[in-house]
C-alpha cells in the first residue's frame, strides 16, 4: 500500500510538470485554469474544422457531436436494460442536455460573447473566463453524480462485505484527494514559474524560487498527512491494535510538524511582503497576508483524532481490567 501511494504521487508530480510545460510552452495558455476546458476546446476546434471542410465533413461532424453528447444517455439505457438504474442517474439526463449545449458553444465560441454578463468586457480574457465557467459546470454535474454513486455504494449495508467496501471507499477517497491535490498544485506552481519567466524574458529570480518553496512546504506536509491517514485506515481495517497505535502516533507527529512548518512558512512570506512594501515607498504595493488554512485545519483535525483515539484506547483498557 505504501509503495503504491508513493508511486501514485510520483506519477502525479511528473504529470503536473508535464501538463504545465504543454499548457505554457506548446499551447501558449496565459491562465492556470485554462487547462480545465482543454478537452472541450480540442473537440470544438476539431469538429469546427471538420464541419468547414466539406458537406460530408459537416455531416460527420454532426454525427460525432451527437455521439459524444449522447454518451450519458447511452449509459442510462444500458444500465436500465440490466435493471441497475438508480435515482441519481437522473443527473445524467441533465448531463446529456448540458453536453449538447456546452459542446455547441465550444464549436461556435463566438456565441459565448452573446451570453456574457454586462460586467464582462468583450475581449479574449472574458472569453477565457466564459470557457472556464462552462467547463466548471460540466465537471460539477459529473462530480455530483459520482459522489452520489459513491454514497450509495458505501452506504449499502445489506451485503456481507459492506465493511470492506467502506474501508475501500475511505482509502479511495483519500487517495483521490492526494492525487488531485498533488497534480493540481504541481501543475499550478510549475505553470506560474514558467509564466513569470516568460513575462520577465529571463530566468525566474532566486527570490521567486524561495517564495515558491515556502508556499510548497505546507502543501507537501499536507500530502504526507493524507498518506498517513491512509495508513491509519488500513491499520483499522486489519484490526491490529499495535499497528493502529503506531500509525495514529505517527499521524500526530506529522500533524505537529505540518502545523509548525505552515506557521513558519507563512510568517516568513508575510514578513518578506511587509518589508517589500515598506521598502518600495514610491510603488503601489498592496500587502496581502498569506495564510495557509487548509494544512492547519487538516493538521488540527488529525491531532484531535489522535487524542480521541488515545482516550478511547485508555478507556477500553480500563474497562477490560474491570471485566
The tens-digit pLDDT sequence of the chain (323 residues) is 555 777 777 788 888 888 888 888 887 788 888 888 888 999 999 999 999 988 898 999 999 999 999 999 999 998 888 888 888 888 888 899 999 999 999 998 888 877 776 666 666 777 888 888 889 999 999 988 888 887 777 666 665 666 676 677 777 777 777 777 788 888 887 887 777 666 554 455 666 677 777 777 888 888 888 888 888 877 877 777 778 788 888 888 988 998 898 888 888 887 777 776 555 444 444 445 566 777 888 888 888 888 887 777 777 666 666 65
Backbone angles phi, psi at 44, to 5 degrees: -60, -45
Question: For the whole model, what pTM was predicted?
Answer: 0.70
H/E stretch holding 319: helix 293-322
Residues 144 and 220: their CA atoms lie apart, in Å, by: 28
Domain-located, residue 188: no
Instruction: Identify the pLDDT of residue 164.
Output: 72
Residues 111, 105: contact at Cβ < 8 Å? yes
Number of structural domains found in the chain: 1
Backbone angles phi, psi at 116, to 5 degrees: -70, 140
Domain-located, residue 288: no
What ranges make up the beta strands (E) of 179-265?
A: none
Domain-located, residue 214: no
Backbone angles phi, psi at 274, to 5 degrees: -65, -45
Domain-located, residue 141: yes
Instruction: Identify the pLDDT of residue 289.
Output: 57
Residues 300, 280: contact at Cβ < 8 Å? no
From the list 206, 258, 194, the residue with the least C-alpha distance to 229 is 258
Residues 211 and 272: their CA atoms lie apart, in Å, by: 9
Please give the grid coordinates belonging to residue 24. 505554457
DSSP code at position 281: T
Radius of gyration of the chain, Cα coordinates, nearest whole angstrom: 25
Please give the grid coordinates belonging to residue 93. 439526463
**Structural domain boundaries enclosing 124:** 31-155
Domain-located, residue 8: no
Domain-located, residue 322: no
Domain-located, residue 76: yes
Torsional sign, CA 73, 78, 81, 84? negative
Amino acid at each position: 500500500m505504501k509503495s503504491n501511494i508513493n508511486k501514485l504521487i510520483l506519477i502525479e508530480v511528473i504529470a503536473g510538470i508535464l501538463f504545465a510545460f504543454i499548457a505554457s510552452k506548446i499551447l501558449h495558455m496565459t491562465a492556470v485554469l485554462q487547462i480545465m476546458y482543454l478537452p472541450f476546446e480540442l473537440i470544438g476546434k476539431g469538429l469546427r474544422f471538420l464541419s468547414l471542410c466539406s458537406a460530408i465533413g459537416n455531416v460527420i461532424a454532426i454525427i460525432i457531436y451527437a455521439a459524444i453528447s449522447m454518451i450519458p444517455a447511452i449509459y442510462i439505457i444500458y444500465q436500465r436494460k440490466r435493471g441497475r438504474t438508480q435515482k441519481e442517474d437522473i443527473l445524467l439526463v441533465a448531463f446529456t442536455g448540458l453536453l449538447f449545449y456546452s459542446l455547441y458553444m465550444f464549436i461556435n465560441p463566438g456565441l459565448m460573447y452573446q451570453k456574457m454578463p454586462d460586467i464582462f468586457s468583450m475581449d479574449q480574457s472574458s472569453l477565457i473566463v466564459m470557457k472556464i465557467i462552462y467547463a466548471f459546470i460540466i465537471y460539477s454535474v459529473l462530480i455530483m453524480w459520482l459522489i452520489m454513486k459513491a454514497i450509495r455504494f458505501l452506504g449499502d449495508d445489506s451485503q456481507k462485505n459492506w465493511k470492506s467496501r467502506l474501508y475501500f471507499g475511505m482509502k479511495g477517497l483519500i487517495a483521490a484527494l492526494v492525487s488531485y491535490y498533488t497534480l493540481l498544485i504541481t501543475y499550478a506552481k510549475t505553470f506560474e514559474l514558467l509564466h513569470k519567466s516568460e513575462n520577465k524574458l529571463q530566468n525566474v529570480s532566486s527570490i521567486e524560487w524561495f517564495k515558491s518553496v515556502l508556499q510548497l512546504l505546507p502543501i507537501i506536509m499536507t500530502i504526507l498527512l493524507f498518506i498517513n491517514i491512509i495508513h491509519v485506515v488500513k491499520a483499522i481495517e486489519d484490526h491490529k491494535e499495535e499497528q493502529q497505535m503506531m500509525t495514529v502516533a505517527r499521524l500526530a507527529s506529522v500533524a505537529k510538524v505540518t502545523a509548525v512548518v505552515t506557521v513558519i512558512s507563512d510568517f516568513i512570506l508575510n514578513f518578506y511582503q511587509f518589508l517589500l512594501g515598506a521598502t518600495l515607498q514610491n510603488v503601489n504595493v498592496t500587502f496581502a497576508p498569506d495564510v495557509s488554512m487548509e494544512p492547519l485545519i487538516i493538521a488540527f483535525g488529525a491531532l484531535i483524532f489522535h487524542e480521541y483515539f488515545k482516550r478511547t484506547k485508555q478507556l477500553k483498557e480500563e474497562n477490560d481490567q474491570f471485566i
